[in-house]
Amino acid sequence: MPDEATLASGGDAAAGCAGGGVLAGVSVRSTGKGSAPLVASYYKEIRERRPEADFLQQMSYVELSNRLPELLLMRVDKFSMAHSLEARAPFLDHELVSYALSLPQRSKIQGHTTKKVLKQAVAGILPDEVINRKKQGFRVPLPEWLSGPLAGWAEERSLAVDSSLFSSSNRCGGLAFSDVHRWVPGLQLQ
Protein backbone atom coordinates (compact mmCIF):
# COMPACT_ATOMS: atom_id res chain seq x y z
CA MET A 1 0.00 0.00 0.00
CA PRO A 2 1.52 3.38 -0.94
CA ASP A 3 2.32 5.71 1.91
CA GLU A 4 -0.19 8.52 2.19
CA ALA A 5 -1.18 11.08 4.81
CA THR A 6 -3.76 9.98 7.33
CA LEU A 7 -7.09 11.56 6.51
CA ALA A 8 -8.07 12.60 9.99
CA SER A 9 -10.83 15.13 9.51
CA GLY A 10 -11.10 16.20 5.92
CA GLY A 11 -9.12 19.28 6.90
CA ASP A 12 -6.12 18.29 4.81
CA ALA A 13 -8.33 17.93 1.73
CA ALA A 14 -9.97 21.33 2.21
CA ALA A 15 -7.10 23.31 3.73
CA GLY A 16 -5.73 24.34 0.35
CA CYS A 17 -9.09 25.55 -0.99
CA ALA A 18 -9.40 29.34 -0.78
CA GLY A 19 -8.44 29.56 2.88
CA GLY A 20 -10.38 26.45 3.87
CA GLY A 21 -13.79 28.11 4.35
CA VAL A 22 -15.58 26.50 7.28
CA LEU A 23 -12.75 23.97 7.54
CA ALA A 24 -10.10 26.64 8.12
CA GLY A 25 -8.04 25.90 11.19
CA VAL A 26 -8.95 22.20 11.36
CA SER A 27 -5.93 20.26 12.50
CA VAL A 28 -4.81 17.11 10.75
CA ARG A 29 -3.43 14.19 12.76
CA SER A 30 -0.69 12.43 10.87
CA THR A 31 1.90 9.98 12.07
CA GLY A 32 3.99 10.59 8.98
CA LYS A 33 3.67 6.85 8.28
CA GLY A 34 0.45 7.00 6.28
CA SER A 35 -2.91 5.62 7.30
CA ALA A 36 -2.06 1.92 7.07
CA PRO A 37 -0.83 1.56 10.69
CA LEU A 38 -3.91 3.33 12.06
CA VAL A 39 -6.31 1.20 10.04
CA ALA A 40 -4.37 -1.95 10.95
CA SER A 41 -4.70 -1.08 14.65
CA TYR A 42 -8.51 -0.92 14.30
CA TYR A 43 -8.57 -4.33 12.57
CA LYS A 44 -6.34 -5.77 15.31
CA GLU A 45 -8.64 -4.33 17.99
CA ILE A 46 -11.82 -5.81 16.49
CA ARG A 47 -10.18 -9.22 15.95
CA GLU A 48 -9.10 -9.26 19.62
CA ARG A 49 -12.53 -8.15 20.89
CA ARG A 50 -14.59 -10.32 18.51
CA PRO A 51 -12.48 -13.09 16.96
CA GLU A 52 -15.60 -14.53 15.29
CA ALA A 53 -16.40 -11.27 13.46
CA ASP A 54 -16.74 -11.70 9.71
CA PHE A 55 -15.02 -9.35 7.26
CA LEU A 56 -18.07 -7.05 6.89
CA GLN A 57 -18.29 -6.67 10.68
CA GLN A 58 -14.57 -5.90 10.85
CA MET A 59 -14.80 -3.37 8.02
CA SER A 60 -17.85 -1.73 9.62
CA TYR A 61 -15.99 -1.40 12.91
CA VAL A 62 -13.02 0.25 11.18
CA GLU A 63 -15.33 2.70 9.36
CA LEU A 64 -17.23 3.51 12.59
CA SER A 65 -13.98 4.01 14.49
CA ASN A 66 -12.08 6.08 11.95
CA ARG A 67 -13.80 7.46 8.86
CA LEU A 68 -17.21 8.20 10.37
CA PRO A 69 -16.14 10.44 13.28
CA GLU A 70 -13.02 11.90 11.69
CA LEU A 71 -14.43 12.69 8.27
CA LEU A 72 -18.15 12.28 7.69
CA LEU A 73 -19.62 13.42 11.02
CA MET A 74 -17.11 16.24 11.32
CA ARG A 75 -18.20 17.58 7.93
CA VAL A 76 -21.90 17.31 8.76
CA ASP A 77 -21.27 19.07 12.07
CA LYS A 78 -19.15 21.89 10.60
CA PHE A 79 -21.38 22.57 7.61
CA SER A 80 -24.66 22.36 9.52
CA MET A 81 -23.36 24.66 12.28
CA ALA A 82 -22.06 27.11 9.67
CA HIS A 83 -25.67 27.50 8.51
CA SER A 84 -27.35 27.31 11.95
CA LEU A 85 -28.86 23.91 11.21
CA GLU A 86 -29.34 21.04 13.62
CA ALA A 87 -28.37 17.76 11.97
CA ARG A 88 -29.33 14.35 13.34
CA ALA A 89 -27.95 10.89 12.62
CA PRO A 90 -30.73 8.54 13.83
CA PHE A 91 -29.02 5.40 12.55
CA LEU A 92 -26.13 6.07 14.96
CA ASP A 93 -28.14 5.25 18.07
CA HIS A 94 -25.70 3.09 20.07
CA GLU A 95 -28.16 0.22 20.55
CA LEU A 96 -29.02 0.16 16.85
CA VAL A 97 -25.31 0.27 15.89
CA SER A 98 -24.52 -2.57 18.32
CA TYR A 99 -27.37 -4.63 16.89
CA ALA A 100 -26.33 -3.95 13.28
CA LEU A 101 -22.69 -4.83 14.04
CA SER A 102 -23.78 -8.09 15.67
CA LEU A 103 -25.58 -9.29 12.54
CA PRO A 104 -23.63 -11.66 10.29
CA GLN A 105 -22.92 -10.68 6.69
CA ARG A 106 -25.58 -13.05 5.31
CA SER A 107 -28.22 -11.02 7.20
CA LYS A 108 -27.12 -7.75 5.61
CA ILE A 109 -26.21 -8.67 2.04
CA GLN A 110 -27.90 -11.16 -0.26
CA GLY A 111 -26.41 -11.30 -3.75
CA HIS A 112 -26.43 -7.72 -5.02
CA THR A 113 -29.02 -6.62 -2.44
CA THR A 114 -27.56 -4.59 0.41
CA LYS A 115 -29.23 -3.27 3.57
CA LYS A 116 -31.37 -6.42 3.62
CA VAL A 117 -32.46 -6.12 7.29
CA LEU A 118 -33.24 -2.40 6.98
CA LYS A 119 -35.31 -2.98 3.84
CA GLN A 120 -37.23 -5.78 5.57
CA ALA A 121 -37.82 -3.55 8.62
CA VAL A 122 -39.39 -0.72 6.59
CA ALA A 123 -41.35 -2.93 4.16
CA GLY A 124 -44.99 -1.94 4.38
CA ILE A 125 -44.05 1.44 5.89
CA LEU A 126 -42.20 2.94 2.91
CA PRO A 127 -43.24 2.43 -0.71
CA ASP A 128 -41.35 -0.30 -2.59
CA GLU A 129 -40.01 2.25 -5.09
CA VAL A 130 -38.28 4.08 -2.22
CA ILE A 131 -36.94 0.90 -0.63
CA ASN A 132 -35.58 -0.49 -3.91
CA ARG A 133 -34.34 2.65 -5.67
CA LYS A 134 -30.69 3.13 -6.51
CA LYS A 135 -28.49 4.94 -4.03
CA GLN A 136 -28.48 8.70 -4.55
CA GLY A 137 -26.31 11.35 -2.99
CA PHE A 138 -27.17 14.81 -1.75
CA ARG A 139 -25.84 16.72 -4.70
CA VAL A 140 -26.51 20.40 -5.18
CA PRO A 141 -28.28 20.98 -8.54
CA LEU A 142 -25.72 23.63 -9.51
CA PRO A 143 -25.94 23.12 -13.30
CA GLU A 144 -29.72 23.48 -13.20
CA TRP A 145 -29.56 26.59 -11.01
CA LEU A 146 -26.82 28.30 -13.01
CA SER A 147 -28.50 27.65 -16.35
CA GLY A 148 -31.92 28.57 -14.98
CA PRO A 149 -33.04 30.94 -12.24
CA LEU A 150 -29.52 31.92 -11.10
CA ALA A 151 -28.02 32.39 -14.59
CA GLY A 152 -28.12 36.20 -14.49
CA TRP A 153 -26.83 36.35 -10.95
CA ALA A 154 -23.93 33.96 -11.74
CA GLU A 155 -23.00 35.80 -14.92
CA GLU A 156 -23.00 39.16 -13.14
CA ARG A 157 -20.75 37.93 -10.35
CA SER A 158 -18.44 35.90 -12.54
CA LEU A 159 -17.44 38.97 -14.50
CA ALA A 160 -15.93 40.39 -11.33
CA VAL A 161 -14.09 37.15 -10.45
CA ASP A 162 -10.49 36.48 -11.38
CA SER A 163 -10.83 33.46 -13.69
CA SER A 164 -7.44 32.11 -12.54
CA LEU A 165 -9.27 30.93 -9.41
CA PHE A 166 -10.91 28.34 -11.65
CA SER A 167 -7.83 27.17 -13.53
CA SER A 168 -7.15 23.47 -13.95
CA SER A 169 -4.40 23.75 -11.32
CA ASN A 170 -6.88 25.07 -8.76
CA ARG A 171 -9.78 22.61 -8.80
CA CYS A 172 -11.03 22.84 -5.20
CA GLY A 173 -13.92 20.46 -5.02
CA GLY A 174 -13.46 19.55 -8.67
CA LEU A 175 -15.06 22.76 -10.00
CA ALA A 176 -13.33 24.36 -12.95
CA PHE A 177 -14.28 27.67 -14.56
CA SER A 178 -15.04 25.76 -17.75
CA ASP A 179 -17.72 23.86 -15.81
CA VAL A 180 -19.38 27.09 -14.69
CA HIS A 181 -18.95 28.60 -18.16
CA ARG A 182 -20.78 25.63 -19.68
CA TRP A 183 -23.79 26.08 -17.35
CA VAL A 184 -24.27 29.83 -17.66
CA PRO A 185 -25.51 30.96 -21.09
CA GLY A 186 -23.65 33.98 -22.43
CA LEU A 187 -20.84 33.82 -19.85
CA GLN A 188 -17.56 34.83 -21.41
CA LEU A 189 -14.13 33.89 -20.07
CA GLN A 190 -12.16 37.08 -19.31
* Mean pLDDT of each 10-residue bin along the chain, 190 residues long: 40 40 46 76 91 90 87 88 88 89 87 88 95 82 83 75 52 51 54
Q: Give the pLDDT confidence score for residue 138 in this predicted structure.
A: 72
How far apart CA 27 and CA 9 sit, in angstroms, is 8
pTM of the model: 0.52
| Residues pairing with 126 in the sheet | 123
Q: Give the pLDDT confidence score for residue 184 in this predicted structure.
A: 56
Q: Give the pLDDT confidence score for residue 21 in this predicted structure.
A: 44
| Residues pairing with 113 in the sheet | 110
Q: Give the pLDDT confidence score for residue 121 in this predicted structure.
A: 92
Q: Give the pLDDT confidence score for residue 27 in this predicted structure.
A: 46
Contacts of 141 (CB under 8 A, 6+ apart): none
How far apart CA 108 and CA 104 sit, in angstroms, is 7
- Helix H or strand E encompassing 41: helix 36-49
Q: Give the pLDDT confidence score for residue 135 in this predicted structure.
A: 81
